[in-house]
Amino acid sequence: MTGYFRSIEIGNLQLEGNVFAASMAGYTDCITRSLALNEGAILAYTVMISAEALIRNSGRTLSMMKRADGEEILAVQLFGTSPQTLGRAAVLAAQNGADLLDLNAGCPVSKVTGKGAGAAMGRVIGRLALAVEEMGKAGLPVTVKIRSGWDDGEINWSEAAHAAVEAGASAIGFHPRTRRQGYGGRADWTALKIMSRELPVPVIGSGDLDSPVSVLRMFNETGCRAVMIARGAIGNPGIYSQTRKLLTNGIQETPQIPEERLKIARFHLKAAAEEFGDKRTAREIKKHLAGYIKGWPSAAELRRKLMTASDIPALMSLLNEGNQSRVRLRGNVQRDG
């Protein structure tokens, strides 16, 4: 059971572990990356950044590349349609401190694929390969995130992965679902196993990683070299430290108790407000806070209150209230026992 947490080489980068934080639109920012890294993730990809917006020198876009606290390797994920535009954006990312570049050829969202980017980029193998070549001119390692294909009638992950590697990709991130599946159904780990055997570069597995045990199972069943945890880390950054312990020495920790998760939630809220300001934070952080309380008996009522709270003090007060309620509940249970 031990020894699955290993060093990995991606291009000229030597990473001292193989558990990464995936990029998630609407969730990933420098605060969530810092939390993931502090909890034990080795690498945390930025939220996907529009290549076109980056070359227009958008201040908001540049801020998405801000290096997080504790972030030794800045992995910038780009999306776009034009290989030449992606190449220019890659150069700008390198000039702004990036250490690694990732091409998103897997996002299933219609507003992205409708423009020929994301999973739609993976449909046109020649364009995908050219994009990798153009991004590689920035002089940094390039990884590529792909899906199984567009739908069940258009499965092309093998062609896409091999073309990307031949064009210079240093690793392939693989979420073995089709674009049509989105995030539903089950990820096809059999395809991940085959890809891991076929490619001469590291394959980074993704899909259905919601616990340390599921990560261990993916390594066991597929032979992939690394993993990217996505939705399993929403409101649960402790999954990284728990996963590292399981992979390193077989220790399976119990999930964090609610008081511990609420403590992290309060830190997350405070850090986000300091970084992004109260107004933006109050608008954007509620989905994170809902993740921290997921699965509790009282979660539905607390989540409803969080979603209708209008400012940071109100959100913090609800988190404090939730913590006090959990403590009282635990005390009652102990006395009854």
Percent pLDDT > 90 in the chain is: 80
> Is 35:269 a contact under the CB 8 Å cutoff?
no
Element (H, E) at 101: strand 100-105
Sorting pLDDT into bands at 50, 70 and 90, what band is 294? confident
Res. 90: pLDDT tops 50:
yes
Distance CA 337, CA 331 (A): 10
Asked whether residue 232 falls in the same domain as residue 288, the answer is no
Range of the domain at 303: 258-336
Cα distances from 297 to residues 258, 309, 334, in angstroms, run 11, 20, 17
Question: Average pLDDT of 61-85?
Answer: 94
Residues carrying an active site annotation: 107
- Chain mean pLDDT for the chain: 91
- Give the list of residues 6+ apart from residue 85 with CB closer than 8 angstroms, or none: 51, 52, 55
pLDDT of res. 329? 39
Sorting pLDDT into bands at 50, 70 and 90, what band is 254? confident
Domain end residue (candidates: 249, 277, 310): 249
Asked whether residue 243 falls in the same domain as residue 284, the answer is no
Asked whether residue 235 falls in the same domain as residue 284, the answer is no
pLDDT of res. 330? 43
Is 16 part of any domain?
yes
Asked whether residue 113 falls in the same domain as residue 217, the answer is yes
The number of distinct structural domains making up the chain is 2
Tell me: the pLDDT tens digits for 100-142? Answer: 999 999 999 999 999 999 999 999 999 999 999 999 999 999 9
